[in-house]
Amino acid sequence: MDVSDDETMLVVTDKRRRSIGRAIHEAAESVGAEAVYAEVAADEKHGTEPPAAVASAMSSSDVVLAPTTRSLTHTEARKDACEAGSRVGTMPGITEEVMHGAMLADYEKIASDADELLDALEDVEEIRIESDAGTDLTLEVGERDWHPDDGICHEAGCVTNLPAGEVYIAPTGGEGTLVVDGSFAGLGKLDEPIRIEFEDGRATSVSHDDLREKMDEAGECGRNLAELGIGINPSATLIGNVLQDEKVRGTVHVAVGDSSGFGGDVECDLHLDGVVKEPHLYADGKDLELP
């Protein structure tokens, strides 16, 4: 995050992540930054907006780190903070296991691998995902941009999800079958795969009752095919925490819900990622070799 001694850094956390939040707050103080600490409710619903006072503090801080139970990544508060020039690192669902796992990756190497993958994806219009578990999903990319999440956030207005290690996009549409056999946000590591059918960029069939209810509780937007991400973090392993799981090198993840924070046009109080193990990727019909 490149925090310096003339900056204000805000730590947004909750009681479940208090030990990590306090440690990050102390680290900010140790480099001489003006460190501010705020706790919000430990809400399980990802995408819930923080209190107005916290949102205001985010926009007036140079750097924001958010080790929280719920994700602030796709909130208006986070978007407003970046528009105001804050550098924001979100850490939804962070645990000490993750702090000692994927967080310790070589982020310069991840940045290099992300650049290599972005070069391979340039001008690609269609991505097809297949897996031995049954995934056969074709995603339309259109004119939208791919985004690297390499953990290096030094420029004003940047945002990163920590631990980092993915390249991602908001597809314009998608058709086919997604079989999630790794983990799913809110459900952890899966004992049984979850099957989702997509038509015209919307989930029309969901095999898991609780997941289907969460999507429908969010309204029509909850079934939006929101994201395709490709994991590139070599230090990440599948542990049942999607914050780390979606970064595992050699996996992909597909999300439903909000896509407005990274190039899509659907706003939703929901964003849930499902991780697919050992996928085969094709870019405009050609094998996509991962770095």
Per-residue pLDDT of the chain (291 residues; tens, 9 = 90+): 999 999 999 999 999 999 999 999 999 999 999 999 999 998 766 678 999 999 999 999 999 999 999 889 889 999 999 999 999 999 998 999 999 999 999 999 999 999 999 999 999 999 999 999 999 999 999 889 999 999 999 999 999 999 999 999 999 999 999 999 999 998 999 999 999 999 999 999 999 999 999 999 999 999 999 999 999 999 999 999 999 999 999 999 999 999 998 899 999 988 999 999 999 999 999 999 877
Number of domains composing the chain: 2
128 is a domain residue: yes
Burial degree of 52 (CB within 10 A; 0-12, 13-18, 19+): exposed
The answer to whether the CB of 240 falls within 8 A of the CB of 188 is yes
Same domain, 63 and 159: no
Residue type, 27: A
231 is a domain residue: yes
Alpha-carbon gap, residue 151 to 166, rounded angstroms? 9
Same domain, 84 and 108: no
pLDDT on residue 44: 65
pLDDT on residue 43: 73
Residue ending a domain, among 94, 124, 156, is 94
Same domain, 17 and 78: yes
Q: Which of 208, 220, 207 is nearest to 270 (CA)?
A: 220
Supply the pTM of this predicted model: 0.85
Burial degree of 186 (CB within 10 A; 0-12, 13-18, 19+): middle
Same domain, 86 and 209: no
Same domain, 16 and 146: no
3 is a domain residue: no
Domain span holding position 158: 104-287
Residue ending a domain, among 94, 120, 148, is 94
The answer to whether the CB of 133 falls within 8 A of the CB of 122 is no
Residue ending a domain, among 60, 94, 128, is 94
Same domain, 217 and 269: yes
Same domain, 241 and 160: yes
Same domain, 76 and 117: no
252 is a domain residue: yes
204 is a domain residue: yes
Q: Which residues make Cβ contacts (< 8 Å) with residue 150, sequence separation at least 6? A: 107, 110, 111, 114, 160, 164, 165
159 is a domain residue: yes
1 is a domain residue: no
User: Domain with 31 in it: what CATH number?
Assistant: 3.40.50
99 is a domain residue: no
